[in-house]
């Protein structure tokens, strides 16, 4: 009886498993530069900024993440399309099609922002490790910097990209924190759609900091550079030369970017909600040190939340620090017209790897200045917010330039969204200066 009429149910179910696995495998293969970029968006700078926002304003600025999500999706998609369509990064396209002083200005601004951000991130990582095991924060900061340099210089691009993709899992630490934080979900979710506006310098600064954390210049250069790396890895041509491949490739970019930015936004909100439900709810509204940000969670949410918070800073730092240095390296080598790639041997890409090493070590050296790490993280985000608008404007000019993009210029709808994102960033920066100068 077991051999005959009733086996078809089993045989019908078996083929579905490989098919489902194939769909999942194709989906995960689609994820790459966009996912890694989105995860790097929640670097220690972002963690510090979002912790301060949650502690100081509670749930009051949660609505800004709903506003920033479509803006970050479209501008990162623009960056990715510049790389994949033209076969050149943002700096290379500026060099090809626009005046050189403009190129030098944009790259110089990027380097300033990246070194500040690197210093803030490395310092936060060192402080987080002290919380967990004790020791010397300055030594740990330098150690993390050297480790990131070694990994970027010695590993091949496919291996390194794979490590970065797995490192994104460290962000789930903050999902774990929010689960045990006792968030009043009715109030928290209402704050996503009902703004609680304040007209003062602190609120304006916080808005710029959030936008500067979620829409950061280094992420533009990195995602464009990674699309070029992927193109070379698959021995493909730029889409402006092979437009027949544009359909599936642009669809992949859209999916990858959408997933990456959604992941980034969810984790950012988890950090804000967790600190709002713990620090702000218990009267802790001003985070003065990175130790305080994590230590304050221990008596309120327990040792698990404390440890996950600290480990998350280290994990995301190991993801973001190489991306900050790598984006600077892409920009500098493209600016001077030299080849640079994470897949190149160090002796064949000296300027590329030298830029990675120098920017990372320069960032680590900033820890010798007596600046509180959390404050440095917060102001690094503000600097990124101030610098992003002009870079975004240049990207929008590139992506609509037929000499650069051929027939694959950005669609009218995406163009409107991209310019709107640029306007919002510029307006937030103007608001910040109006309140603080």
Chain Cα centroid distance, residue 382: 15
With tokens 């999500």, the residue in question is 69
- Taking the C-alpha atoms of residue 258 and residue 25, their distance in angstroms, rounded to an integer, is 18
SS3 assignment, position 15: coil
Dihedral angle computed from the Cα positions of residues 69, 73, 75 and 80, in that order, rounded to the nearest 10 degrees? 160
**Over the stretch 129-178, which tens digit does the pLDDT of each residue have?**
988 898 898 899 999 999 999 988 888 767 777 777 777 777 777 787 88
> If 0-12 CB within 10 Å is exposed, 13-18 middle and 19+ buried, where does residue 100 land?
exposed
pLDDT at residue 195 tops 90:
no
Structure tokens at 41: 């968006």
Cβ count near 303 (within 10 Å): 10
**Over the stretch 109-136, which tens digit does the pLDDT of each residue have?**
889 889 988 988 898 888 889 888 988 9
- Taking the C-alpha atoms of residue 40 and residue 320, their distance in angstroms, rounded to an integer, is 5
127 compared with 190, residue with greater pLDDT:
190
Select from 298, 282, 290 the least CA-distant residue to 52: 290
Contact assessment for residue 72 and residue 258, using Cβ atoms and an 8 Å cutoff: no
**Over the stretch 18-35, which tens digit does the pLDDT of each residue have?**
665 566 666 656 677 778
Residue 25's pLDDT is 61
- Taking the C-alpha atoms of residue 314 and residue 318, their distance in angstroms, rounded to an integer, is 6
- Taking the C-alpha atoms of residue 168 and residue 221, their distance in angstroms, rounded to an integer, is 19
Contact assessment for residue 319 and residue 122, using Cβ atoms and an 8 Å cutoff: no
Residue 62's pLDDT is 92
The overall longest dimension of the chain from CA atoms, in Å, is 86
Structure tokens at 197: 């506006």
Least trusted range by pLDDT, from 26-40, 208-222, 236-250, 255-269: 26-40
Select from 157, 123, 117 the least CA-distant residue to 138: 123
Structure tokens at 57: 């304003």
With tokens 């003065």, the residue in question is 288
- Taking the C-alpha atoms of residue 279 and residue 345, their distance in angstroms, rounded to an integer, is 48
pTM score, whole prediction? 0.84
- Taking the C-alpha atoms of residue 332 and residue 197, their distance in angstroms, rounded to an integer, is 40
């Amino acid at each position: 009886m077991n051999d005959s009429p009733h086996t078809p149910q089993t045989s019908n179910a078996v083929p579905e498993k490989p098919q489902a696995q194939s769909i999942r495998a194709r989906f995960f293969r689609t994820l790459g530069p966009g996912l890694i970029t989105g995860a790097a968006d929640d670097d220690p700078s972002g963690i510090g900024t979002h912790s301060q926002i949650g502690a100081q304003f509670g749930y009051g600025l949660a609505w800004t993440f709903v506003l920033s999500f479509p803006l970050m999706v479209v501008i990162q998609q623009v960056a990715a399309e510049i790389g994949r369509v033209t076969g050149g990064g943002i700096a290379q396209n500026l060099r090809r099609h626009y005046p050189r002083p403009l190129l030098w200005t944009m790259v110089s601004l990027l380097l300033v922002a990246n070194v500040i951000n690197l210093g803030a991130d490395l310092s936060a990582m060192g402080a987080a490790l002290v919380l967990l095991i004790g020791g010397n924060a300055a030594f740990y900061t330098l150690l993390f910097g050297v480790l990131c340099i070694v990994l970027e210089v010695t590993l091949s691009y496919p291996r390194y990209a794979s490590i970065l993709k797995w490192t994104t899992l460290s962000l789930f630490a903050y999902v774990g924190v929010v689960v045990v934080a006792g968030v009043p979900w009715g109030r928290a979710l209402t704050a996503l759609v009902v703004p609680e506006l304040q007209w003062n310098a602190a609120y304006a600064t916080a808005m710029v900091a959030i936008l500067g954390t979620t829409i950061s210049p280094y992420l533009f250069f990195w995602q464009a550079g990674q699309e070029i790396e992927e193109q070379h890895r698959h021995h493909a041509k730029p889409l402006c030369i092979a437009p027949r491949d544009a359909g599936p490739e642009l669809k992949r970019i859209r999916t990858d970017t959408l997933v990456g930015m959604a992941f980034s936004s969810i984790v950012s909100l988890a950090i804000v909600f967790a600190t709002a439900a713990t620090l702000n709810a218990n009267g802790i509204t001003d985070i003065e040190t990175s130790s305080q940000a994590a230590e304050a969670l221990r008596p309120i949410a327990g040792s698990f939340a404390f440890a996950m918070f600290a480990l998350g800073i280290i994990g995301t730092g190991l993801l973001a620090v190489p991306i900050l240095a790598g984006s600077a390296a892409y920009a500098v080598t493209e600016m001077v017209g030299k080849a640079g790639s994470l897949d190149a041997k160090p002796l064949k890409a000296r300027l590329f790897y030298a830029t990675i090493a120098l920017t990372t070590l320069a960032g680590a050296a900033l820890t010798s200045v007596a600046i509180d790490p959390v404050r440095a993280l917060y102001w690094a985000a503000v600097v990124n917010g101030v610098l992003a608008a002009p870079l975004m404007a240049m990207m929008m000019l590139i992506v609509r330039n037929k000499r650069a993009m051929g027939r694959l210029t950005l669609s009218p709808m995406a163009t409107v969204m991209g310019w709107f994102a640029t306007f919002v960033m510029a307006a937030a920066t103007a608001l910040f200066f109006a309140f603080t100068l």
